[in-house]
Amino acid sequence: MEYVRNHTTIPVPRVYFHDSRCNNPLKAPFIVMDFIDGVPIPFSDFDPENDTQARTIYKQLCQISYQLSKLRFDTIGSISTKSNSQISLGPKFWNGAQHGPFTDPHKYYKSLTARYWNRAASSITASSLPDTWTWQTSSRSEKNLFTAYLHLQCFPLLHSEKLAAQFCLQHHDFKLRNFLVDGEIVVGLIDWDKCATVPLAGYDPVAFPIEGDEEMCLALFLAEERDDGGDGEIGRWYRSRVGKLARAWDSSGQSYRVWAAKEIFEELYDGSWETSDELKRDCLRKALELAASTRKGNHI
């Protein structure tokens, strides 16, 4: 948060002091920062049907997104501040596990894939699947295993791409609920705890729109990039096939990672998610077989 405040005009609360330990006088981690007199967008008077209002607010969010994309680093990881106010990049943290730091994007995606698969494979004991299985009725562990299997299947596609060792800052919960507004003015962006650097290919500049507004927001982001004299690099990655896959990989560290299943499935098999039930069942059957092998100690 301090780094973003010092290097951008993004409205971030000023932090006065904090303690992440549990043995402090409050017996719990805490942070003391500015109060922002605003409300989260979903609880404001934001009306997505009002095109003028929607564009006014979305334009501000795209300006924030563009500023994050301009913060460039040579390492993938989480930012921490040293005692001399200099920054360092350490490991990323997901579900209590550390990843990295990395300077090679391919090693980063390989680490994500292996970690996600091993966690998913270890959390399920079923070895067979009924013919009546559907995604809608499947358990959380089955959905996780299915999505992790898709990551394994398309990792070779991502690995074959030439990815530059250049990274930018991603707010990993870049949703409307974390933007505070006062009327139509964005006055704050909160919930920075999972913020970390990501490969440019995996940066998501428009993770926030209401469904149906993605193209509008992408156009607004590209206009910011163009007006600043940018070369359209982020936009090209976003529209590319490898960009779609890379964004799915970065979501694999989040609690909502199963949302990536539909996008990866359609990219991988070039078919419709809604009409491919048999293919989805076949994928999960293969995933269950591979999971059983993984639990026996056979590495992916």
Q: Looking at the domain assignment, is residue 35 inside a domain?
A: no
Instruction: Name the band, by pLDDT with cuts 50, 70 and 90, for residue 300.
Output: low
Mean pLDDT highest for which of 33-42, 83-92, 111-120, 255-264? 33-42
- How large is the average pLDDT for residues 190-218? 93
Among 6-15, 118-127, 147-156, 252-261, the range scoring the smallest mean pLDDT is: 252-261
Q: Looking at the domain assignment, is residue 82 inside a domain?
A: no
- How large is the average pLDDT for residues 249-271? 76
Q: Looking at the domain assignment, is residue 252 inside a domain?
A: yes
Q: Looking at the domain assignment, is residue 151 inside a domain?
A: yes
Q: What is the pLDDT of residue 30?
A: 93
Q: Does the predicted model carry a pTM greater than 0.85?
A: yes
**Cα–Cα distance, 5 to 275 (Å, whole number):** 47
Does 272 have pLDDT greater than 70? yes
Q: Looking at the domain assignment, is residue 283 inside a domain?
A: yes
Does 176 have pLDDT greater than 60? yes
Q: How many domains does the chain have?
A: 1
Q: What is the pLDDT of residue 39?
A: 96
Q: What is the pLDDT of residue 153?
A: 92
Q: What is the pLDDT of residue 255?
A: 52
Q: What is the pLDDT of residue 258?
A: 73
- How large is the average pLDDT for residues 115-122? 89
Q: Please report, for residues 119, 222, 226, the alpha-carbon distance to residue 166 in angstroms, rounded to integers and kept in the order given.
A: 28, 20, 20
Q: Looking at the domain assignment, is residue 189 inside a domain?
A: no
Does 116 have pLDDT greater than 90? no
Q: What is the pLDDT of residue 126?
A: 81
Q: Looking at the domain assignment, is residue 160 inside a domain?
A: yes
Mean pLDDT highest for which of 119-133, 137-151, 238-252? 137-151
For 87-98, how does the pLDDT look when each residue is reduced to its tens digit (9 = 90+)?
Answer: 889 988 766 678
Does 170 have pLDDT greater than 80? yes
Q: Which domain holds residue 277?
A: 104-164+238-300
Question: CA-based angle 48:52:58, to the nearest 5?
Answer: 60
Q: Looking at the domain assignment, is residue 59 inside a domain?
A: no
For 39-70, how does the pLDDT look when each residue is reduced to its tens digit (9 = 90+)?
Answer: 999 999 999 899 999 999 999 999 999 999 99
